[in-house]
C-alpha cells in the first residue's frame, strides 16, 4: 500500500472563499478520482507531550490518502481533479510537507543493524 501524506499549515491571510474552494476541490478529487482506496484528513491534536514543543513548524492539518500501488498514486497525481486541487493547495499553504511511503503492517519492514 502506498500512503500519500500531506502535512500543512494554511496561510494566515487565507481568505474564507479560498479556503472553501480548496475544500470543494478536495471533495471533488475524492469523489472523482477512482484510484484512492482510503482518505483521511484531520487537525493536529496537542496534549502536553514534550515532543510537541520540539516541532519547528506547527502543521495544523494532515491528509493521508492510500493507494493500492505506485501506479495508482501516479494516476491520481496525473488526474485533472488533482491538478485543480494542487493549484488551490499550493496557493493556500504557508508551510507544507508531502511524502509518499510504501507501507506494510509487518515490523520486518524496519531496517535492522
Give per-residue pLDDT as tens, 86-110: 999 999 999 999 999 999 887 777 7
- Which pLDDT does position 100 carry in this prediction? 98
Entry pTM? 0.89
Indicate whether 111 pLDDT > 80.
no
Using alpha carbons, list the distances in angstroms from residue 14 to 45, 58, 104.
22, 16, 37
Per the listing, cell 499553504 goes with 93
Angle at 76 between CA 25 and CA 74, to 5 degrees: 145
Q: How far apart are CA 86 and CA 66, in angstroms?
A: 17
Q: How far apart are CA 113 and CA 93, in angstroms?
A: 39
Produce one character per residue of 47-84: b if its CB has 16 or more CB atoms within 10 Å, e if not: eeeeeeeeeeeebeeebebbbeeeebbebbeebebbeb
Q: Are 34 and 71 in contact (CB under 8 A)?
A: no
Give per-residue pLDDT as tens, 15-33: 999 999 999 999 999 999 9
2-104: CATH topology is Alpha-Beta Plaits (3.30.70)
Mean pLDDT of 50-69: 95
- Which pLDDT does position 86 carry in this prediction? 96
Percent above pLDDT 70 for the chain: 100
Q: Are 73 and 4 in contact (CB under 8 A)?
A: yes
Amino acid at each position: 500500500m502506498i500512503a500519500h501524506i500531506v502535512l500543512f499549515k494554511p496561510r494566515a491571510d487565507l481568505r474564507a472563499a479560498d479556503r472553501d474552494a480548496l475544500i470543494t476541490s478536495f471533495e471533488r478529487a475524492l469523489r472523482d478520482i477512482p484510484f484512492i482506496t482510503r482518505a483521511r484528513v484531520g487537525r493536529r491534536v496537542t496534549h502536553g507531550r514534550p515532543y510537541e514543543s520540539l516541532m519547528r513548524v506547527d502543521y495544523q492539518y494532515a491528509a493521508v490518502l492510500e493507494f493500492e500501488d505506485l501506479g495508482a498514486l501516479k494516476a491520481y497525481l496525473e488526474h485533472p481533479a488533482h491538478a485543480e486541487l494542487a493549484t488551490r493547495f499550493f496557493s493556500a499553504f504557508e508551510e507544507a510537507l508531502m511524502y509518499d511511503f510504501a507501507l506494510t503492517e509487518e515490523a520486518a519492514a524496519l531496517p535492522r543493524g
